[in-house]
Structure 1
């Protein structure tokens, strides 16, 4: 009866490990997105871009000038007074104003996409670190199950030793196994602690400690559109920003001054209106325009190269996932056979038809298969995380 409970625990453990429970990881993710200082800094960059965009498109203040003059007639020799006022307003042509608005929008869009890129990279790295923590927690469960089997073997061995059916050396083998498992448990607890604090440190969560489960499973979607990759989107918006800057710089006259003046002189009142235009003779901004266009061309080449690399990486990950799924099934099938085999060996041990070393070897193989299965599950999760990042699944 007891041995059946042991094997049932194995099955329950693996079914729980493979089940979907997103709550605790989602809690961690939401807390990290709320409190991480690096992401908050990126959010501020977006706000700065909006303010700078407003600066770029705002109107200039008018300039007002007052003047006062003394007039002295050469003929009469008497003195008279005069005064005047002038107002100058910088005028931006409508086409230049539109170009400034386009550039402002492009700058803001670029910062928003950069923030989204930072966010998606953060989610990806946090998820990968979580899988390491989850793997170590699962290893601890394997060790606990190993301890249950070893305890069962020790109890049987102790009873047989009391009856004189086995030697003291055989009993010591069972005892050594229990001590070794305890040592491994302490080692994996150190690994769990290390991976937990590494995860919390990266997340930037101020909360000292909270209970974090390890059974979250990452799934992939059917979306295979690499155009949604956050890096590609960020590079596209950066290129559009450069092209908008180039368009703005292509305007030979970006502004002119509209001037109105009024003056009262001793013998007349003067009203004047005029404009002040810059003459683009020595500086036509052609260099700035060419630099922006060349930079955009360079980014086109780099972006195409990045798309090729992403396409190849996506293809590799899809093929890897197929092999991992097959490997998972194979390990599960082997595990079932090993569990059945160990069950029969324990029965043989009771009637002295097998040695302690033989049954321990069988147990070690079963534990190794359980460990291999956890490793495969971990790589499957990491594979899904990478695919989701490449295809922009984490985009808002």
Structure 2
């Protein structure tokens, strides 16, 4: 039995320790996010409101009894029954249906914007996590170099070709890096917790640390941002609202009545309708059309603003790409220079300061490259959002 339990738990244990890629993590977040579940329910409310708007009103039934006192002091009874049913005029149901569909489309567009924004924030938080983890990796790499420098300084001090001061200087540099690692680890932990918080995932998940994009990931220019879609759907909604507000009479009441009195029976049939003498609903229609015009202007403003922003981001990415390639060339030279200084210092032909300076310049260049890659990812994420690639 114990062997069976271990066998059943083994896949769970292995899964908990296997690092997942971002796509898997994103699907987990989309499935578990209470934020998205809450927003999704609003679209369901809009669909139910459509059913409410399209359903017919219930008929009304009246029943009354009458008592008649005659001059001969005799008492006779009578009664009256009435039933009425509101009936929509021709075309009203179609207009209500069209208006409700526009309201649902607007609700869906708002949900898609919230989902797209969620994905954008999630990708940026993951990018920040990757950046912090790579920074931690760089400082650990720096520590390994510092350890080798300490060993070389120690050997030189022992064989008399170096001084104790140089050995202590190298040791102090290593200690400072070890202290810095603790700070970097804490920053990475906070970044990881923030990522889980945004994703709405309670359990800890091991994550791979790979940037999502590089300079070849830039897609063709396209402007279908969630904000543009919402402005378009709002305009459609207000135009439908104006159309239905324009209709003065939406329904009539058809009624039938039967009355029985002591001396006679009366049957009545008729139609009741509102007379639009004082309330012509012009203001409601005008307000809806003004809102539709506002949405049109809002959409044009958003398009212009975001188009400029897209061009700016694309130009910035071109500049970043040039910086990236320059830093890569510089890195190659600095790696060669560091090896030369390490070899020279080991055989007493170089100074410790030159070696430490070469090491620091190399790590500084690597940090610049890492910073460029983070900016590249941040800009592409923003571009993808503005161009509507998170709208699905």
Tell me the TM-score normalized by structure 2. Answer: 0.91
Please state if 1:230 is matched with 2:226: yes
Q: Distance in 2 between matches of 1:253 and 1:184?
A: 76
Please state if 1:371 is matched with 2:340: no
Q: Which runs of 5+ in 2 are unaligned?
A: 1-18
Q: Distance in 2 between matches of 1:96 and 1:264?
A: 37
Report the equivalent of 1:41: 38
**Structure 1 residues 284-293 or 299-308, which shifts more?**
299-308
**Structure 1 residues 335-344 or 32-41, which shifts more?**
32-41
Report the equivalent of 1:314: 310
CA contact (8 A) 2:83 2:257 kept: yes
Residue correspondence of structure 1 range 186-335 to structure 2 within 5 A: 186-207=182-203, 209-218=204-213, 220=217, 222-226=219-223, 228-335=224-331
Report the equivalent of 1:127: 123
Runs of 4+ in structure 1 off by over 4 angstroms are: none
1:185-231 residue CA offsets vs partner (Å, 9 max, x unmatched):
11111111121122222222222x221222132364634221x2111
Residue correspondence of structure 1 range 58-69 to structure 2 within 5 A: 58-69=55-66
Q: Distance in 1 between matches of 2:58 and 2:51?
A: 14
Q: 1:50 aligns with which of 47, 50, 53?
A: 47
1:49-90 residue CA offsets vs partner (Å, 9 max, x unmatched):
11111111111001111122233445x664433223211111
CA contact (8 A) 2:344 2:350 kept: yes
Report the equivalent of 1:71: 68
CA contact (8 A) 1:25 1:216 kept: no
Q: Distance in 1 between matches of 2:251 and 2:219?
A: 52
How many residues are treated as equivalent by the alignment? Answer: 372
Q: Distance in 2 between matches of 1:379 and 1:259?
A: 72
Report the equivalent of 1:347: 343
Please state if 1:165 is matched with 2:161: yes
Residue correspondence of structure 1 range 86-125 to structure 2 within 5 A: 86-125=82-121
Please state if 1:362 is matched with 2:358: yes
How far is 1:376 from its partner? 0.4
How far is 1:146 from its partner? 1.0
How far is 1:364 from its partner? 0.2
Q: Distance in 1 between matches of 2:242 and 2:255?
A: 30
**Structure 1 residues 283-292 or 147-156, which shifts more?**
147-156
1:333-381 residue CA offsets vs partner (Å, 9 max, x unmatched):
1111111111111111122111011110000000000000000000001
SS in 2 for 1:94: coil
Q: Distance in 2 between matches of 1:360 and 1:222?
A: 42
Q: Distance in 2 between matches of 1:163 and 1:222?
A: 60
Q: Distance in 2 between matches of 1:225 and 1:363?
A: 44
CA contact (8 A) 2:231 2:298 kept: no
**Structure 1 residues 173-182 or 373-382, which shifts more?**
173-182
Please state if 1:152 is matched with 2:151: no
How far is 1:158 from its partner? 1.4
Tell me the TM-score normalized by structure 1. Answer: 0.90
Q: Distance in 1 between matches of 2:186 and 2:60?
A: 71
CA contact (8 A) 1:139 1:371 kept: yes
